[in-house]
């Protein structure tokens, strides 16, 4: 069984860090920094990436870990990294760690009346109101609790979201219907993760699916053939020797605009030691998976 304490211990390895940015939006919970590429003029619609933090982290802290905003100029995307709501479950010196109400397993354990699905939709709308965003390239990246939240957003707002990336998160264990619009889904997960288990487990008595099941759920929803193909290896974790990650794809027969993919980091932990290629590869995957 995976418990709150194991998630707290892993998350405590990261300390939130501030990022100075003069541009902001407000979606109802206060001002949020927005990163725009230096080339942005509004003449051409830009991709949007929404970054969702792990339990106990912040948007800026998650960006410090993934180094995503540093790539905005290279790839021309706009980035917003919102914060979840405060929990009453202390995490070290952090008495009110932030969380997303993402699934039955993670991480609204206190039963707060909060609709993060609606809030994140408002975040996307607020960015669109201020910046020219390409509606075919609205993407989400989430880590741990944030990864769970990306799965929920894809299921509930499939018409608005082109693709999601879940790092060490999971889908909902209960059956979710096929969304009206297919969504491209990438799950990245380490087999050595002791906080959110690669093969699935429980958090405080509530089960969640493993990485393979999460991806196969989306393959089915997207109408893909259930037989995957191996597509090579990657070096995603600089703390592991060699090409540590196996790429598995479900792309045959999918409905237009949908696919499912799994990057399995052999012996990878909940917080991988990210290689220099990790975040660029994630961004390039997203950019290659717009809505049709």
Any domain includes 292: no
pLDDT digit string (tens) for 261-290? Answer: 999 999 999 999 999 999 999 999 999 999
**Residue 150 included in any domain:** yes
Would residue 113 count as lying in a domain? yes
Domain with 244 in it: what CATH number? 3.40.50.1820
Confidence check: pLDDT of 17 > 50: no
| Number of separate domains in the chain | 1
pLDDT of residue 5: 41
Q: Please give, one letter per residue, the 3-state secondary structure of 18-79.
A: CCCCCCEEECCCCEEEEECCCCCCCCCCEEEEEEECCCCCCHHHHHHHHCCHHHHHHHCCEE
Which DSSP symbol is given to 256?
T
Among 250, 186, 190, 263, CA closest to 222: 250
Task: Give the mean model confidence (pLDDT) for residues 226-235.
Answer: 94
* Beta-bridge mates of residue 250: 260
Question: What pLDDT sits at residue 131?
Answer: 96
Please determine, for residue 58, whether its predicted confidence score (pLDDT) is greater than 90: yes
Please indicate, yes or no, if residue 117 is contained in any of the structural domains.
Answer: yes
Per-residue model confidence (pLDDT) at position 153: 98
Question: Which band of pLDDT confidence, cut at 50, 70 and 90, is reported for residue 94?
Answer: confident
Task: Please check the confidence at residue 92 and state whether its pLDDT lies above 80.
Answer: no
pLDDT recorded at residue 90: 67
Q: Write the Ramachandran bin of 239: left for phi over 0, alpha for psi from -120 to 50, otherwise beta.
A: alpha
Percent of the chain, pLDDT > 90?
86
Residue 249 in domain? yes
At 254-263, the pLDDT tens digits run 999 999 999 9
CA nearest 198: which of 252, 248, 254, 257? 248
Give the domain extent around 22.
4-287
Question: d(Cα 292, Cα 207) in Å, to the nearest integer?
Answer: 35
List the single range of 15-29, 115-129, 171-185 with lowest mean pLDDT.
Answer: 15-29
Residue 27 covered by a domain: yes
Provide mean pLDDT across the span 208-223: 97
**What pLDDT sits at residue 276?**
97
Q: Which pLDDT belongs to residue 3? A: 44
Look at residue 226 in the predicted model and tell me its pLDDT. Answer: 87
Q: Which residues pair with 237 in a beta bridge?
A: 274
pLDDT, tens only, 160-199: 999 999 999 999 999 899 999 999 999 999 999 999 999 9
- Confidence band (pLDDT; 50, 70, 90) for 234? very high
**Per-residue pLDDT at 37 exceeds 50:** yes
Work out the average pLDDT over 143-154: 98
Residue 16 has pLDDT above 60, yes or no: no
What pLDDT score was predicted for residue 89?
Answer: 73
- The CA distance from 15 to 257, in Å, is 37
Answer for the pair 211, 144: CB distance below 8 angstroms, yes or no: no
**Cβ-based neighbour number of residue 44 at 10 Å:** 10
The per-residue pLDDT of the chain, averaged, comes to: 92
User: What is the mean pLDDT of the segment spanning 229-243?
Assistant: 96
């Amino acid at each position: 069984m995976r418990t709150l304490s194991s998630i707290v211990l892993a998350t405590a390895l990261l300390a939130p860090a501030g990022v100075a940015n003069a541009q902001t939006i407000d979606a109802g919970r206060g001002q949020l920094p927005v990163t725009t590429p230096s080339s942005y003029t509004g003449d051409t619609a830009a991709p949007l990436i929404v970054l969702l933090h792990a339990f106990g982290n912040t948007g800026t802290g998650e960006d410090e870990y993934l180094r995503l905003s540093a790539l905005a100029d290279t790839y021309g995307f706009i980035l917003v990294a919102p914060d979840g709501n405060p929990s009453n479950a202390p995490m070290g010196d952090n008495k009110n760690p932030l969380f997303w109400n993402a699934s039955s397993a993670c991480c609204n354990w206190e039963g707060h009346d909060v609709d993060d699905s609606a809030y994140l939709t408002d975040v996307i709308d607020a960015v669109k109101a201020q910046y020219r965003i390409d509606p075919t390239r609205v993407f989400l990246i989430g880590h741990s609790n944030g990864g769970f939240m990306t799965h929920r957003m894809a299921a509930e707002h499939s018409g608005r979201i082109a693709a999601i990336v879940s790092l060490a998160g999971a889908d909902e264990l209960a059956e979710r219907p096929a969304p009206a619009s297919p969504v491209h889904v990438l799950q990245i997960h380490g087999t050595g993760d002791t906080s959110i288990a690669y093969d699935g487990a429980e958090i405080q008595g509530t089960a969640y699916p493993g990485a393979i099941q999460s991806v196969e759920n989306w393959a089915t929803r997207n109408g893909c053939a259930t037989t995957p193909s191996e597509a090579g290896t990657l070096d995603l974790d600089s703390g592991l020797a060699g090409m540590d990650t196996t790429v598995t794809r479900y792309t045959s027969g999918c409905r237009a605009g949908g696919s499912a993919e799994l990057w399995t980091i052999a012996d990878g932990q909940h917080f991988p030691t990210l290689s220099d290629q990790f975040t660029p590869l994630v961004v390039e995957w997203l950019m290659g998976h717009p809505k049709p």
